[in-house]
Amino acid sequence: MSSSTNSFKTDDTPAIKKVVIVGGGTAGWMTAAGLCSVLAPLNLDITLVESEAIGTVGVGEATLPHIRFFNRKLGIDENALMKATKATYKLGIEFRDWGKIGDSYIHPFGDFGFPINRCGFHHYLSRAHKMGLPSHLDQYSVPVMAARNAKFQPPHSDTENVLSTFGYAYQFDAGLYANFLRKFCENRGVTRIEGRINEVSQNKESGEIECVILENGESLTGDFFVDCSGFRGLLISQTLNVPYRNWTEHLPCDRAVVAACSAAGPELPYTRATAKSSGWQWRIPLQHRVGNGYVYCSEFISDQEAERSMLGDLEAPPNSEPKRLRFTTGQRQKSWVKNCVAIGLSGGFLEPLESTGIYLIQEAITNLIEMFPTQTSYDVDRKEYNRLMDIEFERVRDFLLLHYVATTRSDSPFWRHLTSMDLPASLKHKMDLFKSTGRVVSYEIGAFKKPSWLSVYFGQNIIPKGVDPLSLHMPDSVLPEQLNSVAKTVSNAVALMSGHGAYIDQECRAE
Closest separation between CB of residue 43 and ligand FAD, Å?
25
Catalytic residue list:
90
Regarding 181 and contact with ligand FAD (CB under 6 A), the answer is no
Closest separation between CB of residue 198 and ligand FAD, Å?
7
According to CB under 6 A, which residues from 480 to 509 bind ligand FAD?
none
User: Is the CB of 215 or the CB of 505 nearer to ligand FAD?
Assistant: 215
User: Is the CB of 24 or the CB of 459 nearer to ligand FAD?
Assistant: 24
Stretch that binds ligand FAD, among 11-19, 272-280, 356-364, 453-461 (CB under 6 A): 356-364
Regarding 50 and contact with ligand FAD (CB under 6 A), the answer is yes
Closest separation between CB of residue 282 and ligand FAD, Å?
7
Regarding 233 and contact with ligand FAD (CB under 6 A), the answer is no
According to CB under 6 A, which residues from 27 to 46 bind ligand FAD?
27-28
Rounded Cα distance between 469 and 439, Å, is 12
CB 27 within 8 A of CB 343: yes
Interaction pattern, residues 389-418, with ligand FAD; x per rule: CB under 6 A:
------------------------------
User: Is the CB of 169 or the CB of 440 nearer to ligand FAD?
Assistant: 169
Of 15, 21, 26, 93, which lies in the binding site for ligand FAD, with binding defined by CB under 6 A? 26
Regarding 227 and contact with ligand FAD (CB under 6 A), the answer is no
Stretch that binds ligand FAD, among 54-62, 405-413, 427-435, 454-462 (CB under 6 A): 54-62
Q: Reading across the β-sheet that carries 330-332, which strands appear in turn?
A: 244-246, 330-332, 348-349
Stated as kind and residue range, the H or E segment containing 260 is strand 255-261
* Amino acid present at 145: M
Pairing of strands 18-22, 219-221: unpaired
Regarding 76 and contact with ligand FAD (CB under 6 A), the answer is no
Of 355, 362, 367, 455, which lies in the binding site for ligand FAD, with binding defined by CB under 6 A? 355
Regarding 169 and contact with ligand FAD (CB under 6 A), the answer is no
Regarding 87 and contact with ligand FAD (CB under 6 A), the answer is no
Rounded Cα distance between 185 and 32, Å, is 7
Regarding 256 and contact with ligand FAD (CB under 6 A), the answer is yes
In 237-315, which ranges are continuous DSSP H helix?
A: 303-312
DSSP state of 346: G
**Cα-based distances in Å from 429 to 61, 436, 511:** 32, 11, 51
Interaction pattern, residues 288-307, with ligand FAD; x per rule: CB under 6 A:
-----x--------------
| CA-closest candidate to residue 21, choices 43, 51, 42, 63 | 51
DSSP state of 223: S
307 CB-side CA count, 13 A: 10
Query: What b/e sequence results for 182-208 when a residue is b if at least 16 CB atoms lie within 10 Å of its CB, and e otherwise?
Result: bebbeeeebebbebebeebebeeeeee
CB within 8 A of 292, min separation 6: which ones?
258, 259, 260, 261, 281, 282, 283, 284, 310, 313, 314
CA quadruple 126, 64, 27, 35: dihedral, nearest 10: -110
Interaction pattern, residues 418-447, with ligand FAD; x per rule: CB under 6 A:
------------------------------
Q: What beta strand segments (E) does 313-381 contain?
A: 323-326, 330-332, 336-337, 340-342, 348-349
| CA-closest candidate to residue 362, choices 445, 242, 271, 289 | 445
User: Is the CB of 140 or the CB of 184 nearer to ligand FAD?
Assistant: 184
Regarding 133 and contact with ligand FAD (CB under 6 A), the answer is no
- For ligand FAD, the binding residues (CB under 6 A) are 23-28, 49-51, 54-57, 59-63, 174, 196-197, 228-230, 232, 234, 256, 293, 325, 327, 344-345, 352, 355, 357-358, 361
